[in-house]
Amino acid sequence: MVTIRVARAEDLQGMQACNLQNLPENYTMRYYMFYLLSCPQLSYVAEDEGRIVGYILARMEEDVAEGDEPHGHVVSISVLRSYRRLGLAKKLMVLSQEAMASVYRASYVMLHVRKTNRAALGLYKDTLKFSVHDVEKGYYADGEDAYVMRRSLKDLTS
């Protein structure tokens, strides 16, 4: 049975394994530790009988530019193919966003997505109410451009 909850240290290996199976953008354990330990309230996992089947890895952006507001950053989000159609990505994202708003008073959340990733774009735009803010050319290691997407959290900030 799938349960959704805040990520803990013992989930990190599972998150890493899930990421490696699903996405070409991977990280060493150091990074997972760093993101989790810097903003422990923002990362969530979907767990099925001890196995991590989905996760969202997020943090608050540290360097806030002049005139910019505090904002959250979704570093990585992924659900195993065998666990799709359960709405897990949406649930993980919403929980993380609520924490960004209530704990850190984030004004918005941002993420990067491949220009050609129609499935993800659909999820972010239509289901999760993100909009394209900018394009970052050559963002990905293989040279593909990224859409920088944003979603305001003003409706969640108490």
* Residues forming the site for other proteins (CB under 8 A): 1-6, 8-10, 12-13, 16-17, 20-24, 26-30, 33, 36-38, 40-41, 48-49, 53, 80-87, 91, 95, 98-99, 102-105, 141-142
139 burial type by CB count under 10 A (0-12 exposed, 13-18 middle, 19+ buried):
middle
Q: Work out the angle between the directed axes of helices 12-22 and 29-38 (0-180°, nearest 10).
A: 120
Q: Work out how close the CB of 142 gets to other proteins at its nearest, in angstroms, rounded to a whole number.
A: 7
Task: Output the smallest distance, CB 111 to other proteins, in A.
Answer: 19
How many angstroms separate the CA atoms of 117 and 87, rounded? 18
Whether 58 contacts 7, CB under 8 Å: no
CB of 52 to other proteins, least distance (A): 13
Residue with smaller CB distance to other proteins, 95 or 109: 95
